[in-house]
Amino acid sequence: MLIEHQLENQTLFFQAFQYAPIGMVLVAINGNVLKANSTVCSILGLSEEELLLKTVQEMTHPHDLDLDLALRDQLIAGMRESYQMEKRLIKHECEIVWVQITVSLVKNKAGEPLFFISQVINITDQKIAYNEIQEKKRLLIEREQRYRSVVEHAFDFITMHNPDGTYLYASPSCYEVLGYTPEEMIGKAGYEFLHPEDIQVAIQDHIAILQTDKKSNRIVRIRKKDGNYIWTESTSSSLIDSETGETKEIIVVSRDITERIKKERNLQDNEQRYKSLFDYHPDLIYSMDLEGNYTSINQSFEELMGYTKQEMIENPINFRSVVDPTDYEQVEHHFIQATKGFAQRYEASGINKTGRHTTFDVTNVPIFVNRQVIGVYGLASDITYRKELWKRLEESQNLYQLISENAQDIITFATPDGVVRYASPAIKTLLGYEPDEYVGKVAIDFWHPDDIASFIDENILQKSDVDTFTSRVRHKQGHYVWFETTAKIIRNEDREIVKVLAVGRDISERKRAEQELNAAKDQLESFIDRNVDPILILNLEEKVARINHAFEKTYGWTESEIVGLHLLDLPNIPIELKPEAIQNLNRIKSIEAFEGHETIRKRKDGVILTVMISSFAMRGENGHIIGWAMILRDITDKKQAEELLIRSEKLSIAGQLAAGIAHEIRNPITAIKGFVQLMKSGIVEKKMYLDIMVSEIERIEMILSELLILAKPQIFQTERKDIRKLLAQVTTLLDTQAIINNVQIITEFDPEIPLILCDENQLKQVCINFIKNAIEAMPKGGIIVIQLKSKNEDPNHILLRFIDQGCGIPAYILSKLGEPFYTTKEKGTGLGFMVSKRIIENHNGEIAVFSEENKGTTIEISLPTTH
């Protein structure tokens, strides 16, 4: 019975599920659709079979998926019993459907989630309608904001008034123009702000608007907040109530026209000023009709010509009656041209009322009215005195000609088109021509063809009346001579070119020096570009101006990557060497040149190179420093070769010491063998014998250790060392060889010797080499003194000397010490001293040799201390 009841309930549930008016869907925990009713299928346009192949995730719009999944997770976690949300579903044709879903979770008796039940309601139409309403609201707000923005940001200020004139509204522009905020104006009568003289006009205008409903324009003055008045032009219009037909509001658009009023008044003032200019101008100003009769004259005309304005009115005077008869024809011609519309300028003489002659510079200008010539303006300047000056000028020119004929430079005068009219006698000395051979010719016809083109391209004398240029001028013998020429255009009163004055100087020697300088520059450029060593050029800002091809090839960076970088920012400088780079930069700037600084740099691929840096200052033509050049020679291969030489020399020394070491080892071995035999014979004092044997074995061990250290190849590595201990170990190693050769080694060490920074193995090699040489230099025996002292003049260095009593070194050999493979020994390699010298230099030390034949040799080494 219970089972039947459950089946009946289940049937009812599925019938309700299937035919529910809203969408119902069962969804698995992983999002798969388990079952969907027909309403859901209708919403999505899919069959139930198609739905069962989809997941909720792939049907949900991506923008809504995160929220949906988060709410589902909260259901599973028990944080809520159900949730409701609006989201978009994607139909099978990619169409969007808006739905409202209500989701709850079904669990089993154990509380474990089984599936989701979702109620789905299609709200697409509501969403579309809602969105349309929202869009209309947005457009309405946007339009309102646009209109308000127009009103509030207009240059004109807009106000609204009651019919009685009270302010209802004032746009923000009122504050910009008048200084009042809208709140300070609203509620007040409009007449309160008007100029007292304009109130009556405004009232009449206001009444007319109320009676006629027509727009009205008026110009009034409005008081600003600071008390000053501005002129405004206002346009008023009424807003009619549609129900009563009466004026409801008056809208006034006002514009600040204060500047316009000022300009109008300025125009009136200018007219008055121009009248004053006419009346009081120092030159004669007048007007004539088309017949040539004077219609107006200024005060200067009256004073100079003797006629009054009243006489002109009563008895008109024609210009022909005041012109000198000798100039009548040209004056008549210019007057006629002016009446035809062409401005004229000319010189003429006039005769005043008393008969006095005056020379004038005359300008005639046509008077146009409605594009018709109705008369002629005239302006005449008294140039009588100026003409006298021209006469004096001609006399001066004669003097200048005398000077030019005796000048060392060539002086020429030419017409505007370049034809030579005068050439000074210096042309004979500099170019071989007689002046008469040059005069009448076009100057540039004597120029080199390339210089003619340059003269035209560079617009010489086009921008200025004075210009300087260089050109090659053909000598009478056919070759070309370099000249630097300064030319000046001479103009007349009309600014027309009258002549061209030119002064030319022979600059052949200067040009030759410039060519040599350019050749030197080209050689320098070629040296830089083709040099096998990397080179970079620094400017005065300590930035790279250029690099050569060898730099790019050696270090891997291109010129575009390096140029413009500061020296200290170069990528090939290891970070740990930045302090050293700063010191090098200071050295570069403080001294003229330095060379031979050894350091390391890195390539773009990270490979470390050993380089030798040299630098020198570059100077310009004036002798001032314009930059610096740096050469960064890659000596990596050279350093490796030196290391091989040092290693081979060490092996050579080890081989040469073999005999002495063999003898040194044989003695303790013989002693050990004797004591072993004694012990076998039953002697009782075994402990004493054993102690002696151990001592001898330790001596063998010590000798072999020194030999291994000497022979073993090692990387150059510096450490703080006590050089006294180092010397003691070396003398111990060579003591046997010295004894064999009847040589005594004496050490003289100062008690306070600071530590030095050194490669112990390499420094031992140097000491062994010099001590061994000293032993070999005394075949009959003698004394070797090893001195170790602090340098008195430099507390940061110590002094190490090896002094022997040998045969000494001849002077001609002493100068060749250090040359590879040069030796005086029968079995020597010639590398020992060279390698030793290189090791000392690598320790930033110095070495010197003092020797006298048959008296001995002193090797003196200076090494820096660690402090």
Both 655 and 624 in a single domain? no
Higher pLDDT, 692 or 523: 523
- CA 734 – CA 784 distance, rounded (Å): 12
Q: Provide the pLDDT for residue 595.
A: 77
**Looking at 106-120, 285-299, 648-662, 822-836, which range is the least confident one?**
648-662
- What is the pLDDT, as a whole number, of residue 495? 86
Decide which of 75 and 658 is more confident: 75
User: Is the pLDDT higher at 506 or at 690?
Assistant: 506
pLDDT at 802 over 90: yes
Instruction: Name the pLDDT band for 6 (thresholds 50, 70, 90).
Output: very low
Mean pLDDT for 173-182 is: 88
| 31, part of any domain | yes
Q: Do residues 619 and 668 both lie within one domain?
A: no
Q: Determine, yes or no, domain membership for 740.
A: yes
The reported pLDDT for the residue numbered 93 is 67
User: Which residues on adjacent β-strands are paired with residue 33?
Assistant: 27
Decide if 349 is inside a domain: yes
Of 506, 529, 551, the last residue of a domain is 506
pLDDT at 7: 46
Confidence of residue 5 (pLDDT cuts 50, 70, 90): very low
Say whether both 621 and 650 belong to one domain. Answer: no
Does the pLDDT value for residue 2 go beyond 50? no
Q: How many domains does the structure of the chain reveal?
A: 6
pLDDT at 795: 82
E strands present in 38-173: 82-90, 96-107, 113-122, 157-161, 167-170
User: In this predicted model, which residue has the larger pLDDT, 285 or 458?
Assistant: 285
Split at pLDDT 50, 70, 90, the class of 829 is: low
Which of 446, 475, 506 represents a domain boundary (last residue)? 506
Structure confidence at residue 853 (pLDDT): 87
d(CA 4, CA 608): 92
For residue range 668-706, what is the model confidence (pLDDT) as tens digits? 666 566 666 656 666 555 565 566 666 667 666 655 655
Query: What pLDDT does residue 27 have?
Result: 93
Q: Could you tell me the pLDDT band of residue 752, with boundaries at 50, 70 and 90?
A: confident
Cα 154–Cα 156–Cα 160 angle in degrees, nearest 5: 100
pLDDT at 831 over 70: no
Q: Mean pLDDT for the chain?
A: 83
Contacts 24+ apart (CB under 8 A), 411-416: 411/501, 411/502, 411/503, 411/504, 412/438, 412/443, 412/501, 412/502, 412/504, 413/499, 413/500, 413/501, 413/502, 414/443, 414/499, 414/500, 414/502, 415/499, 415/500, 416/497, 416/498, 416/499, 416/500
Which pLDDT score is estimated for 651? 54
- Domain of residue 650, residue span: 639-864
Boundary of a domain, candidates 578, 601, 634: 634
Averaged pLDDT, 100-124: 90
Mean pLDDT across the stretch 447-476?
84
State residue 854's pLDDT score.
86
Q: What is the CATH number of the domain that holds 346?
A: 3.30.450.20
When pLDDT is averaged across residues 346-371 and rounded to a whole number, the result is: 91
Q: What is the CATH number of the domain that holds 786?
A: 3.30.565.10
Whole-angstrom distance, CA of residue 557 vs CA of residue 552: 5
Q: Verify that 774 and 655 share a domain, yes or no.
A: yes
Question: Could you report the per-residue pLDDT of 274-300, keeping only the tens digit for each?
Answer: 777 777 788 999 999 999 999 989 988
Task: Report how far residue 359's alpha carbon sits from residue 494's, in angstroms, rounded to the nearest whole number.
Answer: 16
Residue 24 lies in a domain: yes
Strands 497-506 and 480-491: antiparallel
Residues 6+ apart with CB under 8 A from 469: 455, 458, 460, 484, 485, 487
Q: Are residues 370 and 224 in the same domain?
A: no
pLDDT digits (tens, 9 = 90+) for 564-600: 999 889 998 998 888 888 888 888 887 767 777 888 8
The arithmetic mean of pLDDT across residues 379-399, rounded, is 79
Q: What is the pLDDT of residue 324?
A: 92
Same domain, 810 and 796: yes
Residue with tokens 């008393």, as numbered in its chain? 354
Tell me what pLDDT residue 133 has. 82
pLDDT given for residue 533 in this prediction: 87
Q: Is the pLDDT of residue 30 over 70?
A: yes
In a domain, 455, yes or no: yes
Instruction: Supply the pLDDT for residue 566.
Output: 92
Same-domain status, 808 and 735:
yes
Identify whether the C-beta of residue 61 lies closer than 8 Å to the C-beta of residue 90. Answer: yes
Q: Do 110 and 166 lie in a common domain?
A: no
Instruction: Quote the pLDDT of residue 3.
Output: 45
Residue 457 lies in a domain: yes
- Domain match, 365 and 338 both: yes
Domain co-membership, 573 together with 456? no
Asked if residue 462 and residue 377 are part of one domain, the reply reads no
Query: For residue range 624-672, what is the model confidence (pLDDT) as tens digits?
Result: 888 888 888 888 877 776 666 656 555 555 555 555 555 556 556 665 6
Torsion over CA: 639, 645, 648, 652 (sign): negative
Which residues, 6+ apart, have CB-to-CB distance to 118 below 8 Å?
A: 23, 24, 25, 26, 27, 101, 102, 103
> How large a percentage of the chain has pLDDT more than 90?
25
424 and 343, same domain (yes or no): no
Residues 838-854, mean pLDDT to the nearest whole number:
88
Domain assignment of residue 845, yes or no: yes
553 in a structural domain: yes
Q: What is the mean pLDDT of residues 93-110?
A: 88
pLDDT of residue 458: 75
Q: How far apart are CA 100 and CA 86, in angstroms?
A: 4
pLDDT at 557: 93
What are the φ and ψ backbone dihedral angles of 36, each rounded to 5 degrees? Answer: -145, 140
